[in-house]
Amino acid sequence: MSSDEHTETGTGWPQPAGPGRPSGPAGEPDPRPDAPDPDELSPLAPERSAPAVEPPVQEPAVVEPDDGATVDLSRAAEAGGVVPAVSGDGGAPRRRVSSAGVMIAALLALLGFTLVVQFKSTSTDPTVAATRQEDLVRILYDLNSREVRLRQDIATLEESQRQLRSGQQGRQAALEEATRRADELGILAGTLPATGPGLSVRFEAGEKPISASRVLDAVQELRGAGAEAMQISGGDRATVRIIASTFFLDGEGGSLVVDGRRLTGPFTITVIGDPATMRTALNIPGGVVASVTGDGGKLIVEDREAAEVSALHAPIKLEHARPVS
Q: For 246-256, how does the pLDDT look when each residue is reduced to its tens digit (9 = 90+)?
A: 999 999 988 99
Please state, in angstroms and rounded to a whole number, the distance separating the CA atoms of residues 227 and 187: 11
Q: Is 194 left (phi over 0), alpha (psi -120 to 50) or beta?
A: beta
Task: Over range 204-215, report the average pLDDT.
Answer: 91
Classify 270 as helix, strand or coil.
Answer: strand
Residue spans of beta strands (DSSP E) within the chain: 6-8, 14-16, 62-63, 71-72, 194-204, 229-233, 239-242, 248-250, 256-258, 261-263, 267-272, 298-309
- Give the model's confidence band at 122: pLDDT under 50 very low, under 70 low, under 90 confident, else very high: low
pLDDT digits (tens, 9 = 90+) for 294-308: 888 999 999 999 999
Task: Over range 118-124, report the average pLDDT.
Answer: 62
Classify 63 as helix, strand or coil.
Answer: strand
- Give the model's confidence band at 80: pLDDT under 50 very low, under 70 low, under 90 confident, else very high: very low
Residue type, 162: R
pLDDT digits (tens, 9 = 90+) for 257-290: 999 999 998 999 999 999 999 999 999 888 899 9
Please state, in angstroms and rounded to a whole number, the distance separating the CA atoms of residues 123 and 271: 39
Q: Is the pTM of this model over 0.85?
A: no
Which residues make Cβ contacts (< 8 Å) with residue 111, sequence separation at least 6?
none
Task: Over range 297-320, report the average pLDDT.
Answer: 90
- Give the model's confidence band at 229: pLDDT under 50 very low, under 70 low, under 90 confident, else very high: very high
- Give the model's confidence band at 114: pLDDT under 50 very low, under 70 low, under 90 confident, else very high: confident
Q: What pLDDT score does 165 carry?
A: 73
Task: Over range 77-84, report the average pLDDT.
Answer: 46
Q: How far is CA 275 from the centre of its chain?
A: 39
The dihedrals phi and psi of 170, each to the nearest 5 degrees, come to -60, -45
> Angle CA(6)–CA(9)–CA(10) in degrees, nearest 5?
160
Tell whether the model's pLDDT for residue 164 goes beyond 50: yes
pLDDT digits (tens, 9 = 90+) for 169-194: 667 777 888 888 899 999 999 999 99
- The answer to which of 42-56, 133-147, 157-171, 290-304 has the lowest mean pLDDT is 42-56
Question: For all residues of the chain together, what is the average pLDDT?
Answer: 75
Percent of the chain at pLDDT exceeding 90: 31
pLDDT digits (tens, 9 = 90+) for 7-52: 444 444 455 444 444 444 445 555 555 555 555 544 444 444 444 4
